[in-house]
Amino acid sequence: MSHELSQALGHLRQAAHQLLVQTDPTGQTLRLACQILDIENSLEEVGIRPVWVAAASSAADSTIAAIRLLTRSPQAVPSDVWPALENLLTEVGDHGHR
């Protein structure tokens, strides 16, 4: 697999971590982190392995970085990942900057 796809998965892991360390009594950030884990699982099922990447300034920025990298090899990304990423980006943009 491409190094860019591995970096994208690394960015998704950073986004999940950034959400999980936030204090959120509503549980919304935990739900968003679980959505990221589902996306990660889909990518790992097609053989993409993560590499470590530095965290972006927010979960939203980490998600954007992952999407930019994934769009460079769209044929390697399972089709069910795209709507999940779009939904995630919309929601994490609301919650990722707390």
pLDDT band at 95 (very low <50, low <70, confident <90, very high): low
**CA dihedral for 91, 93, 94, 96, sign (positive or negative):** positive
Tokens for 9, please give them: 């998965």
Residues contacting 54, CB < 8 A, separation 6+:
14
For residue range 32-80, what is the model confidence (pLDDT) as tens digits?
999 999 999 999 999 999 999 999 999 999 999 999 999 999 999 999 9
**Domain residue extents for the chain:** 3-95
pTM: 0.91
Please state, in angstroms and rounded to a whole number, the distance separating the CA atoms of residues 9 and 94: 21
